Structure 1
Amino acid sequence: MVKKGLAALGSALIFLAVAAAAPAAPFSIEKPGEAVLEGEVRVFLGDRELSWEISPSFSRDGHFLVPVRDLGRALGAEVSWDEKTQRVLVTSSQATVGFQIGSSEAIVDGEKVTLPSPAILKNGRAMVPLRFLTQVLGLAVNWDDRTQTATLVAPPERVYREAFPARVAFTANNNLWLLDGSQAGAQPVQVTKGGSVQILGWSPDGLWLAYLQRETPEPGESKPYLWVVKYDGSSAVQVDPRPVIGEPQWSPRDNILAYSTQDPGLDYIPDCNLKLATVAEEGVQVKPLLDQGLPIEDWAWAPDGQSLAISFRRTAEEPWRIDRLNLRGERTNLIKGMGTGNPIGEVYFSHPVGLKWSPNGRYLAYYLRYNAASLSADGVPLEVLDVENPQKPLNLGIGLPYRRWSAWSPDGNKLAFIEGSGRQATYNKRLLVVTLPEGDITSYGQPGTVDSQPTWLPGPQEDLLFCRGTAATVGDKGYPEAGMSYRRIWRATGDGKAAPLTDGLPDEADWYPSSSLDGLELYFLRLKGSTAGSLYRQPLTGGWPEELVRNITGSSGYYGSYYPPNVSIYPLPPTGEAEGRSFAGRLVESLVEGRHLELETEDYGILVVIPASPEVAAALEGYVGQEVVIEGTLEHKPNIYMRGPLLRVLAVKPRP
């Protein structure tokens, strides 16, 4: 049935229209006086352009019209024509819609509504407004004024109705949507309407999502503003009135965002600052951390959340450098480059980007950009700084400076990264893993394939997930079609071997792998077109994938990189595991990365024990070496130990 307010569809801002196609034989009459203007608008259903028996047209009052039979076939609707009454009836699973030629009224599921433009006949075919009919039939219309194209897209839909342990953020039709999978039957919640968004990621506790909002569908045509929204879609808040520059970063321990701002005008004028925004139920509190007129290029939180690495550009007086900045605003240098000045005609390293700390806090990975943007787009050196031995960073070769194309292992002693030059993400890219401090490198690359998006499985195991597809160049296919070349999710093991985890049709591509909290299930996005697809879940041990959410859409990224991601997963404890759940095992002392306690369990492996209060900490110390039962919650966020998930302890008692 049609919801209240359906009549408001007639006043849609973009006056597009769809024509209802009549039977194959032409109508016997054409309404006189309804002259139309031929249109150059192209209409797409997802990635597929629709074709018409007769050309779509604009009416004199500016509404776009196309034939109903063609549209009905494309959308799976039935169309019938009553020549005697000059009525067209469109029937689908979403609604039943009746039009009469020459009338500005339509009947939708028995209710009268007003059309933005009357239904007409053209060359024996019935025509009605596009946006009106597609919205009634459950689709949205995205209009691109620059290319004069209308794209019909279905709204996101939850397919798997049972609960699953994850919160999901994704984009569809340039808007942000959220879904709490732990609530059975809960539907996706639309957060933004209009413009475009970029997902930044979840807060450490999974209660908040950070994202960038732009006023225009094309990201390059407007500046980004930083927003946060609660996991259920409520309490969306703009963090700062000024647009941001760079990529805001969550603290690994607290709900604090580090970000920098810029002038809202058309020119690139950075504010040369670094701010901290504390996000809470009561609101967002912002304070400056660094405001000394220094152009900060990039930043990354240390794993303890007590400091950040910040990078600076080479200037006439100073070489490029990376400093450590604590939360009091005090800086100490970590590394400096060679050379100063900006000599014309010379190529030199300008500044570090893509900073990423290892979970144990010993290593810092970064890319070194050149002073030439085009040269940097084809790949830059990736280096690793050992803060315990900072004299000579380890050079790992050339790669594209995407922050999510490198990933530290949970223990912080291995870095997985994508190596290979060329701005095209669809060839000459392979997965490598370096073991530190030795610097030994294992290559997982295979001839004729291309790799991307490495991510480690949680816990002490040495396995990681990544995307692999058939290599393709622009000469083979255009973009983004090259990114569809039989791409699957693979699993690499510590012995240097790799095997595919997912399988599908040749025209499907799997992206954005992530795992459940216990490391037993895989989440991934399966594209059935170059930019549209569904979120799936599949056991890591094998099995048939389950479709969770469909009609997720996004961009193929720069030269087929599919970056930044348009899906972000925050894994929750397995369904039914909430505050107060019991975890049984042996409580032991560990000296790895500093003294702490761990719970050795049969079901979850090693859990890193974090007391919720000083009283709980004292109680835990009394049970070291014993079998215990712990009441608490599992958390999945980076920490300096990362031998397993964090177990925040509320109470402990002897095991019966």
Structure 2
Amino acid sequence: MAVNKWIKSVVGSAVIGSFLLAGTSAYAASASVFVNGQAQYDTITVEGRTLVKLRSLTDPKWLVFAYDSKTRIVMVHTKDNSKTVQLREGEKTATVNGEKVEIDAAVVNKNGLTYVPLRFISESLGASVHYNAQEKRVIVRTPARQAQYETLMRGDLTEARGIALGLMRLKGKAPATVPGEGYHYNYYTFPEGEALRFTMNYAGYSEAYYEVNEDGLAILKWQLDNVAEREWGTKPNFTSYVYFLDEFMGGVFTYGIVDKQGKDTQLGRFHQDSTHNLVLPIKGEKRTDARP
């Protein structure tokens, strides 16, 4: 019964598991944009300003959207009605709680979707924003995803691991792996006490090691392609680690811990219809990688 309770709770966290400089436009044309952990490949640049889809900010607990096709007005309000915003296509002003507000680029409608400037998102809608100048990366998070980010970086170990496995994974310059045939299991490991570093093994065809950075993105650091027989990056060395084996084709899930001497202690094995990206609590384990 306890295992089933954790399955439902952590799978939900993992599935949920996937971010702006407001004061200047210098970043606008060159920075990559991530909203709720997802890369925005269809941003629009207007007069040096980056515009993102308003719908990319969808958060059931935060914003409600409506569109009047006759007036071409988009209406947005927070769930608690503390903020009400109206935007009209082609205009550089918005109405926020009944007051006219200047925005730094005109609202654009493209393929039926409304695009708004990044600055407006931070100043008027209250999204959590961050600009990583070194990586030229804009990070936007809605309230629910900001709370999830807090858990990922310094919250409950088991929940953080579930979130980490659901993150968008960036491969950078690593070569694409050659697919195998008949994928039937995923095997993932975390160093003992940690959530921000992990490995993924895809049915033995390929292995990958990721580190979660300060932006809450999983960055590939090492990759082994057993099909193409090639390796990229630096392989990690976990002195002791916990593992989770999801044999999804057979509906079997196994988890355990390997100590510093290499001894494998299986902690559980059970049948479950859906266990993708599942992690379970390890009795007595305490988190050691929480970031302030």
For Structure 1 versus Structure 2, the TM-score category normalised by the shorter chain is 0.3 to 0.5
TM-score, structure 1 as length reference: 0.23
**Structure of greater relative contact order (alpha carbons < 8 Å, 6+ residues apart):** 2
Q: Which has the larger radius of gyration?
A: 1
Larger helix fraction of residues: 2
Larger strand fraction of residues: 1
